[in-house]
Structure 1
Amino acid sequence: MAKSNYLSVFLSVFIIWLCLYFYGGDIVSKGDPIVSQLSDHEYNSLLTIRTSNTENSKRVLLRQIYLAELGVRELSNRNDGERVETYLAYTGNKKGDAWCASFVCWVLGKAGVVNPRSAWSPALFLKDRVIWQPKNKRVAPQKGDVFAIWFVDKGRIAHCGFVDEWNDKLVVTVEGNTNEAGSRDGDGVYRKRRLINSIFAVANWVDRKEVLHGL
């Protein structure tokens, strides 16, 4: 019986993985509730199925995970709700705290990417991880890299999220703790379009440091 249950779970997860792999762009971008409610066990199974440990395979998995979170919303617009509090718990924070960086770290962690596990957005932009700034465009950002926005009134990086598409003028992002207007204190996980000139920096947490230093 145990063997049968294990096979059933494995087949279910494998089917989900196939759907994500071949049709992910359509399914997860619509906030499919089945995809959005993947359990920890199912996430771990997805990670295990990807036997290749290359940076490319990590980026594919990373994107599947952050797209699956589109549509997550706070419960009462106070940095709360079951999923939001899951992100916050990952970085050791509590309900009510700002969570854009917690979201980024949680997704990185789910994809098996080492990260600072911090709700402090500047922690994601260490010097040896930054690959792009307006005056130092070392390399074009890729899907799964992390962007930063600088807030003059705070004198620091105060918002971050994932790069999903990048061109000369616009970046398509997936980010948490924002809203339709692009606020840094919004109510959910959204896909946004931002001007490249609004981006302060981009960091790469997927590739090994020795690879980054060789760029």
Structure 2
Amino acid sequence: MKLSIKALEIAATQIGKQENPPGSNWGEPVKSYLSSVGIGFAAPWCMAFVYWCFRQASQTMNVNNTAIKTGGVLAAWNKAANNIKSSNPAIGSVFIMDFGKGQGHTGLVENFDSQFIYTIEGNTNDAGSREGIKVCRKKRLRTTIKGYLNY
């Protein structure tokens, strides 16, 4: 099994997990997601969630974690080697959104078609915010995606 597929399976186990209190970017399990990338305070956590999923997957599979250890979405994109960047999704890809001014959002691709990606992402909500309160399944237009990381 590929590491990215196992990370996606682990992400699915987290659907519905949320901040405590809501809107705080804190509480369990958010603290665990953030601490996986070395952040010990309340902060946006979508990228930390992705890294945490890959870390759990690598430990379960007893393989190296190839995901970039960062809490920053755009930092992950900028640090990634060109050979793992893609303009096309794959199941288990990490999608990258860039809202400008250093703000981004990310999650894992669960499925896709010609127009949409279907995702599992942290720090979102039912409306699809990049600053939400929980782990959700979302549907996003492919045209809103900067690119994909294939770990």
TM-score tier by shorter-chain length is: 0.7 to 0.9
- Residue 89 of structure 2 corresponds to 141
- Residue 62 of structure 1 corresponds to 7
- Residue 117 of structure 2 corresponds to 171
Check the 8 A contact 2:3/2:54 in 1, yes or no. no
Alignment identity in percent?
31
TM-score normalised over the length of structure 1: 0.62
Check the 8 A contact 2:16/2:134 in 1, yes or no. yes
Q: After the TM superposition, which residues 18-167 of structure 1 pair with which residues of structure 2 at under 5 Å, given as runs? A: 56-76=1-21, 77-112=23-58, 113-125=65-77, 126-128=80-82, 129-132=84-87, 140-152=88-100, 154=101, 156=102, 158-167=104-113
- Output the amino acid matched with 2:109: V
RCO greater where, 1 or 2, for CA within 8 Å and sep 6 or more? 2
Select the structure that is richer in helix: 1
- Residue 62 of structure 2 corresponds to none
* CA deviation vs aligned residue, 1:47-98 (integer Å, no higher than 9, x gap): xxxxxxxxx4434322210100111111112101110000000111123111
Tell me how many residue pairs correspond in the alignment.
141
- Residue 44 of structure 1 corresponds to none
Alignment partners' CA distance in 2, 1:92 and 1:83: 15
Alignment partners' CA distance in 1, 2:145 and 2:74: 14
- Which segments of 5 or more consecutive residues in structure 2 lack a partner in the other structure? 59-64
Check the 8 A contact 1:101/1:118 in 2, yes or no. yes
Which structure: larger Rg?
Answer: 1
- Output the amino acid matched with 1:165: N
Select the structure that is richer in strand: 2
TM-score normalised over the length of structure 2: 0.87
- Residue 129 of structure 2 corresponds to 183
Pair 1:57–1:149, CA change in 2 (3 A): closer
- Which segments of 5 or more consecutive residues in structure 1 lack a partner in the other structure? 1-55, 133-139, 206-215
